[in-house]
Structure 1
Amino acid sequence: MKNTLRFLFLLAALAFIGVQQLLAQTPALSQSAPAINSQYSLQQAIDYAIKNKASLQATRLGEQTAAAKVGEIRSAGLPQVNVAANLADNFKLQKSLVDFGALGGGSSATQLSSTDITNAQNGQTVNLKTVTVASDPVPPQAFAFGLQYAGNTSASVSQLLFDGAYLIGLKAAKVYTELAKKQTQQAEIDVVEQVSKAYYSTLVARARLGLLARNVQRLDTVLYQTSETFKAGFAEKIDVDRLRVQRNNLVVEQQKAQRLTELSLALLKFQMGLSQDQPVQLTDSLGSAVVDASSLRQRLGAANFNTGGGVAGQAGVPTGTAPASTTPDQSRQDQQAALSGGRTGQLAAAFNYNNRIEFSTLETQQALAGLDLANRRAGAYPRLLATAAYGFSGSAKSFGDLMAFRGPDSRAGNGFPNQNWFGFGNVGLSLQVPVFDGFRRKYQVQQARVAQQSIEKGFETLRQSIDLQDAQSRTTLINALDVLDNQKANLDLASDVARVSRIKFQEGVGSNLEVVTAETELRAAQTNYYAAIYDVLVAKVDRDKATGELYNQAKK
């Protein structure tokens, strides 16, 4: 008996201390520092960013929160065990009126003297005797029940047997976990997009910087030759001055390009989650990053302007083999749709909205809204629980006597029982049936139904938005390819003009002004060409994101 009581008190104290430590504890996220690599391809840069970018790691914590939420919901269906212990000092005992005169019945009753009543009120033992009293009973007297010091300890357990809302909550927990994963995937897609664009920007800036360095070297050669010719008396000083002005401008442009390259690299480090003092070398070349324009045009169903296409009697738009059921009218409509930037009938039929993570996420949110509606309705179902409890309660005149833990076998010196702690226990079922809640559940169901309808309306808006993004990205990419073709042709022409101008000047049949003008136009053509390359690369990333292929390509 004594050991059992002490064990229950100790268990209650340990439970209290454990709860306090759990509340005070802050879980630390320990992770080993990733190995630092200074050389990165585009795929390696994407992989590093997905694993180490701080904002993405914070998003992944949402998955851990979702997993903890699932555990919280499941815990409601497990046995609930509680241990409690209480000690009280009843420094002023509560009194109640007791009709002692009615205890004997008839003329036989229990009579107390004033001294006996005083002793009983003070908590002292009074021996009651049955005596014959007068016909007038004793009036009710104030009597204090209990002793000054009291305590109790108990252990209780309950088990949920049936709860409709709990069963629906288990289903919702799984869907909630899936939603957290899709939100993480959405963040990863954004990271892939940002790293890809920053990487391409750095590649273009680096290639343009190298080209400017070669231009400076070439212009230095022309300037040296012109200076020597001037010294020999076969050129004018204005020719040398023009070339020096040209070189000064080119050097300034080179310095600006150098700073732009450094800025692009800093942006790439930021998108990857690297510190700015970490050295980074890009292993991919711009040539390997440039897309195959002709094959990309064929995939897009767009006209190739080198061979003509689509309008005014020119060749038809290159497309895949049309199905047998495709009519000539449908083919013409598809050609016009391709030229206008829209999806052809074949492409629209093959397009799967679920490739876009936003659409899949909205579907998951719709499932959650449906489960929330079912959960609100399940609030009308009864709840059934099994309960059990066992414990001890005791009282004494002093605290030391209370903590003696005397059981039923304890005896006083005079042989009388002096037990001060008594056991109790119970088992049972608890049925809770909601009857009327002031229409609270009714309005909760209405809110959940409206939320579900709002999500359903959002599907059409999202489809239209995806269609628009698909058409815009397709048109932007086709235009960027056209501009790239044009700028590549302009660059070839400008390079040839500059080469011929230098030859004519060196042979003495051309003017220095022609060389300066040709070099200026060449630099402009080079700038436009590299800008067109960057626009194509960015447009390709946007296109892959619009069609939902960007994430899959990054995972390959």
Structure 2
Amino acid sequence: MRTKLILPALLLGCLQGIAQTVPDSLPKELDLEQAIAFSLKHQPLVQQSEIDQKITAANVRSRLADWYPQVNFNYNLQHNFVVQTNIIGGNPVKLGVDNVSALQFTLSQTLFNRDVLLARRTKQDVLQQSLQYTEQQKIDVVVAVSKAYYDVIATTQQVRVAEENINRIERSLKDAKFQYDAGVADKTDYKRATIALNNAKASKIANEEILKAKQEFLKSLMGYPAEAPVQLRYDSLAMENSIGLPGSEAPDLNNRIEFQLLSTQLKLQEANLKYNKWAYLPNVSLNGAYNLNYLNNEFSKLYNVNYPASFAAITLGFPIFQGGKRKANIDAASWELERTKLDLLSLKNSVNAAYSQAMATYKSTYINYQALKENLELASEVYDVIQLQYRNGIKTYLEVINAETDLRTATINYYTALYNVLASKVDVQKELGQINY
């Protein structure tokens, strides 16, 4: 099914670096809403879906054009090297002249035809299906960009935590050096601080490289120029306040774009079944022509005399026997219709399961986030107390290192949990059909 291939196609298209138009001006900073808006405008696969919409609309107009009168003009010029001869009354008689030319104007009007009837009846559904494919593409882009955005922010916070950690260790290193110079402590504390500082710097560099890769991935999802830097703007407090408590809202199948697409597909296949049943009906058309005929053995005098001819006719074509083709087509259309009905049933069965899974993940990440938020507050308090006690000679430097490690771990875990909650909330919103563009 096409609906199962949208997101993989999106990611594959982005990773392959689809050619894109570089905007004249780029925003210096992007929050999540701006990143989504930029993606919906510049993402190549979204643009392709919008182009597909226009192609579909043009094809519909092309099919409906068959309802209008069709006027044509034909011109013919023919030279007979040997004119056909026939025997009439025992005498050979030439049937024709050496040079023949004809100008023909034809008019035809379809009165009944199952092809144009199908195009007329399914026009709105075909256009609606094209629109829904574009909407599905946009939803997939929004979900992918939102998660990548949160992932970049989480890694950005890890870099910031590493910088704060380095600052703390540098202060501790100064304290250890001061106590060593004063003869209060030996070289062990000083060396431990140096080791911790080197490790922190290495961790910061590693996170910065990971951040670059994640930024490039986000830009590829957004359709953002690869050569242009991207700077994200965010408010951690506002994001934290937007989490909210997990609700218990039941998913409405009608809000899901997958269900809407299958419903439209079902209508089109019902129309296709009727179309194949209409194969028993005749085709009726009105035809007319006006001919200007020029006949002469001498080419130079060919257009001197005109022998016009005209006619009007109604044509009725009725299929009698086609070797069982019509019955086979009806059977195939019927089975396709049944298959789509089963797809709808399968979607109904899977929506609740997918929603339950997304909600379970959301609740678990939310609970984990609350616990880690409390851990961060405790770790920060413990570090401040132990750091103060160390400066006063009450605690050892090893306890400072442990407290600092706990604080760094708690901070990273907190921000990771925060953005995991936000990402899982996007999944819940998608399953509820609340992401619409």
Distance across 1 between alignment mates of 2:53 and 2:433: 22
- Which residue in 1 is equivalent to 2:311? 426
CA contact (8 A) 2:358 2:431 kept: yes
Distance across 2 between alignment mates of 1:525 and 1:399: 100
- Which residue in 2 is equivalent to 1:41? 31
Distance across 2 between alignment mates of 1:282 and 1:33: 18
Deviations 1:202-235 (A, max 9, x none): 2222222222212211211110121122112111
Superposition deviation, residue 457 in structure 1? 1.2
Superposition deviation, residue 481 in structure 1? 0.6
Equivalent residues in 2 for 1:392-411 (5 A)? Answer: 392-402=292-302, 405-407=303-305
Equivalent residues in 2 for 1:250-289 (5 A)? Answer: 250-289=200-239
**Alignment-mate amino acid for residue 215 of structure 1:** N
Distance across 2 between alignment mates of 1:143 and 1:208: 102
Distance across 1 between alignment mates of 2:300 and 2:31: 78
Distance across 2 between alignment mates of 1:34 and 1:374: 51
Distance across 2 between alignment mates of 1:31 and 1:70: 29
Equivalent residues in 2 for 1:167-206 (5 A)? Answer: 167-206=117-156
CA contact (8 A) 1:391 1:423 kept: yes
**Alignment-mate amino acid for residue 87 of structure 2:** L
CA contact (8 A) 2:266 2:341 kept: yes
Instruction: Report the more deviating stretch, 498-507 or 174-183.
Output: 498-507
Superposition deviation, residue 427 in structure 1? 1.3
Instruction: Assess, with a 3 A threshold, how the Cα gap between structure 1 residues 292 and 83 changes in structure 2: closer, same or farther.
Output: closer
CA contact (8 A) 1:203 1:285 kept: no
Superposition deviation, residue 283 in structure 1? 2.4
Q: Given the alignment of the two structures, is residue 83 of structure 1 paired with residue 33 of structure 2, yes or no?
A: no
Distance across 2 between alignment mates of 1:442 and 1:96: 48
Superposition deviation, residue 438 in structure 1? 2.1
Q: Given the alignment of the two structures, is residue 496 of structure 1 paired with residue 384 of structure 2, yes or no?
A: no
Q: Percent identity?
A: 27
Instruction: Report the more deviating stretch, 263-272 or 71-80.
Output: 263-272
Q: How many residues align?
A: 418
Distance across 1 between alignment mates of 2:180 and 2:22: 67
Q: Given the alignment of the two structures, is residue 296 of structure 1 paired with residue 234 of structure 2, yes or no?
A: no
Superposition deviation, residue 165 in structure 1? 4.5
- Which residue in 1 is equivalent to 2:97? 147
Instruction: Return the structure number with greater helix share.
Output: 2
Deviations 1:313-332 (A, max 9, x none): xxxxxxxxxxxxxxxxxxxx
Specify every segment of 5 or more residues in structure 2 that has no aligned partner in the other structure, as ranges: 1-19
With structure 2 as the length reference, what TM-score do the two structures score?
0.91
CA contact (8 A) 2:173 2:194 kept: yes
Q: Given the alignment of the two structures, is residue 366 of structure 1 paired with residue 356 of structure 2, yes or no?
A: no
Superposition deviation, residue 174 in structure 1? 1.7
Superposition deviation, residue 441 in structure 1? 1.1
Q: Secondary structure at the match of 1:379?
A: helix
Superposition deviation, residue 440 in structure 1? 1.2
- Which residue in 1 is equivalent to 2:40? 50
- Which residue in 1 is equivalent to 2:6? none
Deviations 1:49-70 (A, max 9, x none): 1011111111111111210121
Q: Secondary structure at the match of 2:280?
A: coil
CA contact (8 A) 1:54 1:273 kept: yes
From 416, 423, 426, the equivalent of 1:538 is 423
Deviations 1:239-279 (A, max 9, x none): 10001100110111111122222222222211111112213
CA contact (8 A) 2:161 2:412 kept: no
Deviations 1:298-324 (A, max 9, x none): x23xxxxxxxxxxxxxxxxxxxxxxxx
Deviations 1:492-530 (A, max 9, x none): 222222222211211101111111122222222222222
- Which residue in 2 is equivalent to 1:418? none
Superposition deviation, residue 32 in structure 1? 10
Deviations 1:23-59 (A, max 9, x none): xxxxxxx999564222222111111110111111111
Deviations 1:53-110 (A, max 9, x none): 11111111111121012112211111011110111121122221222xxxxxxxxxxx
Superposition deviation, residue 380 in structure 1? 1.4
Instruction: Assess, with a 3 A threshold, how the Cα gap between structure 1 residues 156 and 150 changes in structure 2: closer, same or farther.
Output: same
Q: Secondary structure at the match of 2:307?
A: strand
**Alignment-mate amino acid for residue 469 of structure 1:** A
Distance across 1 between alignment mates of 2:211 and 2:159: 8
Superposition deviation, residue 465 in structure 1? 1.3
CA contact (8 A) 2:102 2:293 kept: yes
Distance across 2 between alignment mates of 1:424 and 1:467: 72
Distance across 1 between alignment mates of 2:141 and 2:299: 67
From 458, 470, 478, the equivalent of 2:363 is 478
Instruction: Assess, with a 3 A threshold, how the Cα gap between structure 1 residues 209 and 470 changes in structure 2: closer, same or farther.
Output: same
Deviations 1:362-382 (A, max 9, x none): 000000000001111112112
With structure 1 as the length reference, what TM-score do the two structures score?
0.72
Higher relative contact order (CA 8 A, sep 6+): 2
- Which residue in 2 is equivalent to 1:435? 320
**Alignment-mate amino acid for residue 260 of structure 2:** S
Deviations 1:398-424 (A, max 9, x none): 33222xx213xxxxxxxxxxxxx3111
Q: Given the alignment of the two structures, is residue 375 of structure 1 paired with residue 248 of structure 2, yes or no?
A: no
Q: Secondary structure at the match of 1:50?
A: helix
**Alignment-mate amino acid for residue 406 of structure 1:** N
Bigger Cα Rg: 1
Q: Secondary structure at the match of 1:435?
A: coil
Q: Secondary structure at the match of 1:550?
A: coil
Distance across 1 between alignment mates of 2:274 and 2:21: 41
Q: Secondary structure at the match of 2:294?
A: strand
- Which residue in 2 is equivalent to 1:60? 50
Distance across 2 between alignment mates of 1:368 and 1:161: 23
Instruction: Report the more deviating stretch, 442-451 or 265-274.
Output: 265-274
Deviations 1:317-360 (A, max 9, x none): xxxxxxxxxxxxxxxxxxxxxxxxxxxxxx44xx3201110011
CA contact (8 A) 1:291 1:537 kept: no
CA contact (8 A) 2:22 2:225 kept: no
Instruction: Assess, with a 3 A threshold, how the Cα gap between structure 1 residues 31 and 252 changes in structure 2: closer, same or farther.
Output: closer
- Which residue in 2 is equivalent to 1:73? 63
Instruction: Assess, with a 3 A threshold, how the Cα gap between structure 1 residues 33 and 222 changes in structure 2: closer, same or farther.
Output: closer
Q: Given the alignment of the two structures, is residue 390 of structure 1 paired with residue 290 of structure 2, yes or no?
A: yes
Distance across 1 between alignment mates of 2:241 and 2:299: 88
Distance across 2 between alignment mates of 1:183 and 1:79: 33
- Which residue in 2 is equivalent to 1:511? 396
Instruction: Assess, with a 3 A threshold, how the Cα gap between structure 1 residues 395 and 194 changes in structure 2: closer, same or farther.
Output: same
**Alignment-mate amino acid for residue 95 of structure 1:** T
Q: Given the alignment of the two structures, is residue 162 of structure 1 paired with residue 162 of structure 2, yes or no?
A: no
CA contact (8 A) 1:208 1:257 kept: yes
Distance across 2 between alignment mates of 1:277 and 1:382: 62
Q: Secondary structure at the match of 2:224?
A: coil
Superposition deviation, residue 397 in structure 1? 2.2
CA contact (8 A) 1:359 1:462 kept: yes
Q: Secondary structure at the match of 1:233?
A: coil
**Alignment-mate amino acid for residue 377 of structure 2:** D
Q: Secondary structure at the match of 1:385?
A: strand
Superposition deviation, residue 179 in structure 1? 0.4
- Which residue in 2 is equivalent to 1:462? 347
CA root-mean-square deviation: 1.8
